Amino acid sequence: MTNEDGMKTVRVALGARSYDVRIGAGLLARAGAEIAPLLHRPRVAILTDENVAARHLAPLREALSAEGIAAFALAMTPGEATKSWAGLQKAVEWLLAEEIERHDVVIALGGGVIGDLAGFAAAILRRGVRFVQIPTSLLAQVDSSVGGKTGINSGHGKNLVGAFHQPSLVLADIDVLDTLAPRDFLAGYGEVVKYGLLGDAAFFEWLEVNGPGMARRDAALRAYAVRRSVEMKAEIVARDETEAGDRALLNLGHTFGHALEAATGYSDRLLHGEAVAIGCALAFDLSARLGLCAQEVPSRVRAHLAAMGMRRDLSDIPGDLPDADGLLSLMGQDKKVVDGRLHFVLARAIGQSFVTSEVAADVVRGLLSDALA
Ligand code: GLY
């Protein structure tokens, strides 16, 4: 849906938990007007991180204050380590100290770490308060801010503690993407490509033509790609909110990707979206090796990642990696393991993916050995 002001709205249709994702330039400056209708009293708590706060907290406060909304903010330490029991405790205790009540709204201003943490804090605070996502990374705009997955990491693995808690509103301001470092933008782009690969060949073709323009900061191209990604995610989440079936398609590239992230210590060696992009290439390799898709499809996937200047092979990851057995065992620890079987998202063609647990470990081991060689 397009409004007269150029904003796009994608509805996530979940009955009583339905909400809008608003996409467009200048949304941060309009946040007060967008959020005001949700409030029982003119007062909100903002959870953010120090890096995001330095750039975007003042404009957000100004936008809220223009509507007479008082805002209290807590800026957490940037980085994945904040998505922890300690980070959660800090956030929840702060929200209680700020006397956030059952009918108040918490704002998550930041990337995936802050969105997941603030969403989970909101899910458990006073047995659940509403929250608004203002995602500031491309990855958060197209993936983590939409769909209600919230949570923290445990010593046992990433995202192992959490809840489904849908936001009441998502504001994806395309302008804030201009402040991203090129590497962070491209990591988020890994999730954008994933949507084309998993379910929309025409979108993948569009990205092949327009991805480079997006990297050069063309706002209209970025807005379209965010909207199409969010539309696809909204449609899948509406069908399968709690990942009993189709939502698992969103995990294309993630079984390989999570193993690579674990192998690189969840560090700067490999960002999540980079791991997903390499994981997508490997998922198409596996599909081709199993005779599910044509042999040339993985090369086409890699050619696009290369044209975008993205990592696409295991050899693009700096430093040593475990051997094929080591990677396979890291895949076995992923939460996509059900009854001891690895779950993969494979594809019959670009845009035609499906979930399977029928892949023999030996085939995956052989693929990884060749990819590491
Ligand atoms: N990031 C995958 C999902 O939201 O289901």
Instruction: Give the 3-state secondary structure of residue 198.
Output: helix
Is residue 227 in contact with ligand 1, taking CB distance under 6 Å?
no
Is residue 149 in contact with ligand 1, taking CB distance under 6 Å?
yes
Ligand 1 center to residue 359 CA distance, Å?
22
Instruction: Look at residue 156 in the predicted model and tell me its pLDDT.
Output: 83
Question: Which atom, in ligand 1's list, is nearest to the CA of 251?
Answer: 2
Ligand 1 center to residue 157 CA distance, Å?
16
Whole-angstrom distance, CA of residue 72 vs CA of residue 144 = 24
Instruction: Give the 3-state secondary structure of residue 12.
Output: strand
Is residue 247 in contact with ligand 1, taking CB distance under 6 Å?
yes
**Are residues 171 and 34 in contact, defined by beta-carbon separation less than 8 angstroms?**
yes
Residue 88 CB: number of other CB atoms within 10 A?
20
Helices of type H across the chain: 31-35, 50-52, 58-65, 85-97, 112-124, 138-139, 182-199, 201-215, 219-239, 254-263, 272-289, 297-307, 324-332, 361-372
Q: What residues of the chain score a pLDDT lower than 70? A: 1-5, 333-340
Ligand 1 center to residue 251 CA distance, Å?
7
Q: What is the pLDDT of residues 92-121, one digit of tens each?
A: 999 999 999 999 999 999 999 999 999 999
Is residue 143 in contact with ligand 1, taking CB distance under 6 Å?
yes
Instruction: Look at residue 157 in the predicted model and tell me its pLDDT.
Output: 82
Instruction: Look at residue 4 in the predicted model and tell me its pLDDT.
Output: 47
Instruction: Look at residue 339 in the predicted model and tell me its pLDDT.
Output: 61
Whole-angstrom distance, CA of residue 144 vs CA of residue 150 = 8
Residue 190 CA neighbour count, 13 Å, CB half? 28
pTM: 0.95
Catalytic (active-site) positions: 127, 149, 191, 233, 243, 247, 251, 254, 258, 272
Instruction: Look at residue 263 in the predicted model and tell me its pLDDT.
Output: 95
Whole-angstrom distance, CA of residue 92 vs CA of residue 87 = 9
Q: What is the DSSP string of 313-349?
A: SGGGS-S----HHHHHHHHHTSTTEETTEEPEEEEEE
Ligand 1 center to residue 149 CA distance, Å?
7
Query: If you take atom 3 of ligand 1, which residue's CA is the nearest one?
Result: 250
Question: Which atom, in ligand 1's list, is nearest to the CA of 247?
Answer: 5
